Amino acid sequence: MTTSAKLEPSDARRDGDQADGRSEKDESWGSFIAFVLKLVLAVILFRTLLFAPFTIPSESMLPLLRNGDYIVAAKWPYGYSRLSLPFDAPFLKGRIFARLPERGDVVIFKHPYDEVDYIKRVIGLPGDIVELRGGRLLLNGAPVPQDGAAPLAIPLSANTGCHPAAHERTTQEGPVCDYPSTIETLPNGRSYRVLDLGYGPADDFGPIAIPDGRLFVMGDNRDNSQDSRYAAQPGGGVGLVPADRLVGRASMILFSTDGSAEWVKPWTWFTAARWDRIGKTL
């Protein structure tokens, strides 16, 4: 006679509960992994298609940008290439939705040689003739208008020093550096303030015609900027920047620090913040 084991109702409920428990646990882990993958994908798409963060490590774009600024750049204005992708992943050939910047745009681009991110202002577009005489910018043979301005006082801090050719003084708010400055206005009406410390080695340049697919860029801190006035070389000048090297257009300052914060002293994270710069559009 053959007998079969009979599962009592109580055992059935108990085994069923255990089976349901394993299913819910597996489903929970699966949901968590799916959430993480979706989050990673969303971050990648956001950084690739919309915005990406950058830090400012130098004073070449003073007074607009200071050492210690954390900015966000819009990725879509000039199209997308492999340089738009995280880690410069080689999934795109050429540039899609390509568009040239406008004169006056503050752009982020990859250095032609060392792949480092640089930030400068676009001055000349393909077909333009750019020249400097005594520090005065000429575009297509015409001097770019300049309006005189009073010396600009820039606060000094742990990450912002005073150029030897500028003037340092003390105010009630603390030490500042006075820079001679002027407001420059390009033919399309874009105005911005530039610093000029007097005659420098790149104050006489050109004339040079900008070929197709290239851009002439300069820093607003004219005597402290390795830009298109200098031949491209690793860690130095950038030459005429290929438009295909563009990464994005600077849009906003997300955060700014004067360099005095210490990781072991959390309260200094707040006292070091330049609150007046946060949220400033570029």
Give domain 51-137+202-271's CATH number out of 2.40.50.140, 3.40.50.300, 3.30.2130.30, 2.10.109.10.
Answer: 2.10.109.10
pTM: 0.80
Q: Is 28 a catalytic residue?
A: no
Region of residue 226 (phi > 0: left; psi between -120 and 50: alpha; otherwise: beta): beta
Only one residue has tokens 């009592």, namely 8
Q: What is the pLDDT at residue 14?
A: 43
| Non-local CB neighbours of 85 within 8 Å, separated by 6+ positions | 48, 91, 92
10's tokens: 């109580």
What is the C-alpha radius of gyration for the chain, rounded to an integer number of angstroms?
28
- The reported pLDDT for the residue numbered 43 is 64
Comparing C-alpha atoms, which of 257, 229, 252, 222 is closest to residue 73? 252
Q: What is the mean pLDDT of the chain?
A: 85
Cα distances from 119 to residues 20, 35, 59, in angstroms, run: 57, 35, 11
The DSSP code sequence of 129-166 is: EEEEETTEEEETTEEPPEEE-PPEEEE-BTTB---TTS
pLDDT confidence band for 114 (50 / 70 / 90): confident
The answer to whether 277 and 254 have CB atoms below 8 angstroms apart is no
Under the banding of pLDDT at 50, 70 and 90, the label for residue 178 is very high
Catalytic residue among 120, 181, 225, 256: 120
Interatomic CA distance for residues 200 and 123, integer angstroms: 19
More confident residue, 152 or 149: 152
Give the model confidence (pLDDT) of 226-256 as tens digits.
Answer: 999 999 998 889 999 999 999 999 999 999 9
Question: Is 280 among the residues known to form the active site?
Answer: no
For range 125-147, the mean pLDDT: 96
Structure confidence by residue, pLDDT tens digits, 20-46: 555 666 667 767 676 667 666 666 665
- Find the mean pLDDT for residues 111-120: 90
Q: Which residues neighbour 63 within 8 Å (Cβ) at sequence distance 6 or greater?
A: 152, 154, 179, 181, 193, 195, 220, 221
Could you read off the pLDDT of 61-80 as tens digits, one per residue? 999 999 999 999 998 899 88
User: Residue 22 class from Cβ within 10 Å (0-12 exposed, 13-18 middle, 19+ buried)?
Assistant: exposed
- Residue pair 191/183 in contact (Cβ under 8 Å)? The answer is yes
Rounded distance between C-alpha atoms, residue 230 and residue 226, angstroms: 6
